């Protein structure tokens, strides 16, 4: 049902369900010049913007008045025959940006926002067909989020390509992680490609089946499936300097020859299961959350879940009502961001607006994007003059601590025994900050659930012994212990010029220029590589689109007739030092945080991007010849 099929009463009912800041922005496009100025200059304005706050902190009476104004605008536009909305440009467009997020959008952000909004429907990140591309075969390793993106862009530019995927289908982490409760923790309408926005999400934070279906649809619609070798794993790749080609070695014994290789294996693709005494002796089923055994019936069983990070937060509430007992063994408490709408469905009015109301979907995406992009960096930066570095790293960080603590304590009201177990002592945002609508904390108050703040020393045939020596009976053991995030490209062996082994080159310090390229490994590109993960907000899809734009620029240089491209040693080293200098002044590198996947065994951080995403976007728009060795 589009806008022309609705009665005024039905339209008004739909508008009760939408985000008013995004609605007002859409109405600026649809309204008369007088109505535009009424919206932009009038008193009905969002009062603020924060992650997951869709109504701009407007008072109820202002929300009602804004919806009434919007109804007038939309019905008037419909009465005029639904003309194509006039484009917004220049200062007026920037006024709308400021209206939606209740703050001025810095000049440096405007070009990135315009690219993301794509109000004219143009995918400006899409490469044009590249002359000479047909002579540059490319191998992509992995068909997850970043591998699919690379494949789409390669196809648009005209490069012949093959995607090698170890799984039986596309989707990467959303193919592998099928555990109960699995869902995204970035708003669904931003956690999607800029050129394939989804207006059909059924939840604001979609669950795994819907996310997998989205990536499957993208792969189908863009013709990627015909290029994928499923159920095949890359063992390694070897560079031949004489022919300027890579030999990509597969586990079926075959070899692919390519002019370029794009690794899209992801950061969280290799499960981490601690090597503990007695693991082989445990009599019941034991499995990692990323390898969930759906043949195991948990009904009435005594379950011990080891680990309670992002995955454990989702698993525990999903199984607590089914199991006989659930013991959660957690080494350290986790900071969590209160998100009451984390499990909310997208209502029928909002779904109608996303599909039919011109520009609403784009402005709603912006409303999610901007407050969650770069703002987290402020609370993550260390103030050296702040005295209590053990508990917070700055005044702003301490305010965040207070807000998070109040939320956590409020959710376990009546259970003072839980407070010390669930309120962390380390600085907030230092580890991955989780989102909770109260379901995790409420789960911990159930009679059949026990939270044990301890490590694990060993397994027995009938249970798990924690680091305090207490044995917890178990019929089933679930490993919610995360991934080998610092083991980049494992278990592949990548050999570059003169026999250089990439893992030996890195040692314990994986790095890459812009997170993408490494000297002596020509025509080898990484997506979601070292130093590209986001801990300060934003969508990893946006970051990967930046990296892919950079890779496509490098490939275009090869297509001009060059044999190879790689970063200069100076650019590579300077980028690493710049990253480390920034990271050392963030909460993520705090020595007061234990058991953090952000850090390696030496306490160094190599997985995170410490820079503003707007700066990273600018740096990766196109390769700088001064940073490259072209042969």
Tens-place pLDDT, residues 399-454? 999 999 999 999 998 889 999 999 999 999 999 999 889 999 999 999 999 999 99
User: What is the arithmetic mean of pLDDT over 30-52?
Assistant: 93
Can you tell me the distance from the alpha carbon of 490 to that of 503, in angstroms, rounded to the nearest whole number? 9
517: which 2 tokens?
A: 């390229």
Region 271-335+431-482: CATH code? 3.50.50.60
Please tell me the predicted confidence (pLDDT) of residue 515.
98
Residues 520/567, Cβ–Cβ less than 8 Å: no
- Tens-digit pLDDT profile for residues 461-497: 999 999 999 999 999 999 999 999 889 999 999 999 9
User: What is the arithmetic mean of pLDDT over 610-624?
Assistant: 96
264: which 2 tokens?
A: 């899209």
User: What is the arithmetic mean of pLDDT over 326-339?
Assistant: 94
Give buried/exposed letters for 338-363 (b at 16+ CB in 10 A, else e). Answer: bbeebbeebeebbbbbbebbbbbbbb
Q: Is the pLDDT of residue 1 over 60?
A: no
Mean of pLDDT over the chain: 95
Please tell me the predicted confidence (pLDDT) of residue 268.
85
Using alpha carbons, list the distances in angstroms from residue 32 to 88, 115, 250, 337. 13, 26, 61, 41
- Tens-digit pLDDT profile for residues 207-219: 999 999 999 999 9
- Tens-digit pLDDT profile for residues 354-400: 999 999 999 999 999 999 888 889 999 999 999 999 999 999 999 99
Please tell me the predicted confidence (pLDDT) of residue 413.
84
Q: Is the pLDDT of residue 2 over 70?
A: no
Sequence spans of domains, the chain: 3-124+348-368, 133-269+486-630, 271-335+431-482
513: which 2 tokens?
A: 């220029």
Torsion of CA 160, 166, 167, 170, to 10 degrees: -30
Quick one: CA dihedral 411, 414, 415, 416, positive or negative? positive
- Tens-digit pLDDT profile for residues 263-319: 999 888 899 999 999 999 999 999 999 999 999 999 999 999 999 999 999 999 999
Please tell me the predicted confidence (pLDDT) of residue 39.
97
Percent of the chain past pLDDT 90, that is, above it, reads: 92
Task: Count CA within 13 A, CB hemisphere, residue 302.
Answer: 11
Burial of 24: CB neighbours in 10 Å, binned 0-12, 13-18, 19+: buried
pLDDT: which is higher, 562 or 414: 562
Q: Is the pLDDT of residue 10 over 80?
A: yes
Q: What is the CA radius of gyration of the chain?
A: 25
Q: How many helices (H) and strands (E) does the chain have?
A: 20, 21
CATH number (3.50.50.60, 3.40.50.720, 3.40.47.10, 3.40.50.620) of 133-269+486-630 reads 3.50.50.60
Residue pointed to by tokens 């790293």 = 393
Residues 393/382, Cβ–Cβ less than 8 Å: yes
Closest by CA to 596, choosing from 433, 435, 465, is 433
The band of 149, judged by pLDDT with boundaries at 50, 70 and 90, is very high
274: which 2 tokens?
A: 């601690």
Q: How far apart are the first and last CA of the chain?
A: 57
Please tell me the predicted confidence (pLDDT) of residue 543.
96
Please tell me the predicted confidence (pLDDT) of residue 3.
64
Please tell me the predicted confidence (pLDDT) of residue 273.
95
Burial of 192: CB neighbours in 10 Å, binned 0-12, 13-18, 19+: buried
- Tens-digit pLDDT profile for residues 564-604: 999 999 999 999 999 999 999 999 999 999 888 899 888 89
Closest by CA to 551, choosing from 130, 123, 119, 117, is 130
Could you tell me if residue 69 is left (phi over 0), alpha (psi between -120 and 50 degrees) or otherwise beta?
A: alpha
Please tell me the predicted confidence (pLDDT) of residue 4.
63
Please tell me the predicted confidence (pLDDT) of residue 560.
96
């Amino acid at each position: 049902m589009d806008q022309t099929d609705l009665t005024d009463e039905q339209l008004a009912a739909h508008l009760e369900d939408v985000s008013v800041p995004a609605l007002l922005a859409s109405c600026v496009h649809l309204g008369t010049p007088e109505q535009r100025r009424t919206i932009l200059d009038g008193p009905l304005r969002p009062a603020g913007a924060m992650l997951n706050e869709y109504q701009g902190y407007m008072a109820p009476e202002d929300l009602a008045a804004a919806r009434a104004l919007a109804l007038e605008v939309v019905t008037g536009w419909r009465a005029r025959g639904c003309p194509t909305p006039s484009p917004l440009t220049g200062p007026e467009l920037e006024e709308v940006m400021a209206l939606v997020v209740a703050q001025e959008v810095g000049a440096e952000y405007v070009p990135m926002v315009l690219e993301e909004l794509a109000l004219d429907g143009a995918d400006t990140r899409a490469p044009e067909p590249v002359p000479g591309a047909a002579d540059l075969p490319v191998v992509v390793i992995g068909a997850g989020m970043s591998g699919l993106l690379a494949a789409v862009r390669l196809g648009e530019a005209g490069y012949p390509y093959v995607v090698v995927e170890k799984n039986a289908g596309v989707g990467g982490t959303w193919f592998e992680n099928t555990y109960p409760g699995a869902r995204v923790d970035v708003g669904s309408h931003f956690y999607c490609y800029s050129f394939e926005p989804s207006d059909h999400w059924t939840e604001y934070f979609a669950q795994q089946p819907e996310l997998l279906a989205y990536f499957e649809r993208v792969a189908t619609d863009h013709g990627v499936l015909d290029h994928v070798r499923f159920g095949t794993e890359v063992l390694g790749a070897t560079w031949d300097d004489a022919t300027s080609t890579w030999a990509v070695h597969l586990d079926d014994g075959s070899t692919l020859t390519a002019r370029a290789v794009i690794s899209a294996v992801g950061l969280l693709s290799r499960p981490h299961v601690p090597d503990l005494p007695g693991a082989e002796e445990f009599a019941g089923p034991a499995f990692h959350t990323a390898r969930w055994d759906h043949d195991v019936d948990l009904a009435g069983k005594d379950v011990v879940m080891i680990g309670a990070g992002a995955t454990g937060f989702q698993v525990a509430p999903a199984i607590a009502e089914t199991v006989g007992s659930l013991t959660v063994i957690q080494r350290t408490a986790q900071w969590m961001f209160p998100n009451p709408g984390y499990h909310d469905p997208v209502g029928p009015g909002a779904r109608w607006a996303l599909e039919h109301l011109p520009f609403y979907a784009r402005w709603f995406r912006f409303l999610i994007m901007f407050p969650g992009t770069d703002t987290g960096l402020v609370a993550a930066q260390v103030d050296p003059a702040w005295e209590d570095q053990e508990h917070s790293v700055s005044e702003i960080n301490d305010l965040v601590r207070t807000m998070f603590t109040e939320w956590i304590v409020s959710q376990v009201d009546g259970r003072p025994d839980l407070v010390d177990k669930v309120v962390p002592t380390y600085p907030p945002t230092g580890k991955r900050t989780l989102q909770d609508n109260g379901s995790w904390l409420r789960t911990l108050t159930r009679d059949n659930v026990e939270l044990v703040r301890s490590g694990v020393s060993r397994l027995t045939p009938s249970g798990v012994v924690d680091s305090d020596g207490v044995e917890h009976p178990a019929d089933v053991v679930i490993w919610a212990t995360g991934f080998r995030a610092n083991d980049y490209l494992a278990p592949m062996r990548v050999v570059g010029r003169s026999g250089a082994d990439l893992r030996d080159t890195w040692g314990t310090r994986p790095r890459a220029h812009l997170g993408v390229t490494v000297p002596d490994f020509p025509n080898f590109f990484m997506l979601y590589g070292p130093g590209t993960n986001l801990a300060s907000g934003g969508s990893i899809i946006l970051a990967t689109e930046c990296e892919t734009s950079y890779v496509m620029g490098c490939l275009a240089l090869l297509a001009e007739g060059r044999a190879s491209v790689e970063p200069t040693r100076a650019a590579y080293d300077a980028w690493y030092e710049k990253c480390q200098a920034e990271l050392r002044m963030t909460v993520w590198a705090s020595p007061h945080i234990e058991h953090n996947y952000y850090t390696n065994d030496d306490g160094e951080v190599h997985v995170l991007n410490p820079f503003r995403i707007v700066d990273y976007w600018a740096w990766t728009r196109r390769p700088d010849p001064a940073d490259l060795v072209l042969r």
